[in-house]
Structure 1
Amino acid sequence: MATDYDAPRRESEDLAEDSLEELKARRNDAQSGVVDEDEGAIAENFELPGADLSGEEMTVKVLPKQADEFTCSSCFLVHHRSRLAETKNGQFICRDCAA
């Protein structure tokens, strides 16, 4: 907590007289300057200089899980069989989650 050394000092009797409501009100006033900003909203308004992406559209071809792939029961990502670390009770665990 910041201390204002230029402020006049208060006597101990004055400090004891502060009510709980006054202290809560002062605390809320001090914290009212904090602003929660949505990072997603900030990123939406951010534009790269010289980049016109207004007509761009992404298309991704989604393939079903292949015979040589498995779904990790910990991170739920689809990995190639070479990434299989262990099998616990019939559940597959990838190398990243086993480490």
Structure 2
Amino acid sequence: MAGDESSTSLDELLARRADLARTTGEPEDGIEHMLAVVPERDASAGEALAGRVIPVKGTSEFVCSRCRLVKARSQLADPARILCRDCA
């Protein structure tokens, strides 16, 4: 059948491509190569990010207490509750 010939040809081409990549030192495409590049992390170690993220803000900016976005002072709608116009 024609389908068998084309699949055999494809298999041969893929094998040649993999051999060529190994001999030339070029990385192979595929999930196996990507997984080999990414270092594994030990999930049982319980690594957590320590510290608090503090947004950079100037005197002309504030952090809305509801949406937690850094906004310009001109967007401050409720200074007592520190809410932006969108959240007020």
**TM-score normalised over the length of structure 1:** 0.32
In terms of fraction of residues, the more helix-rich structure is 2
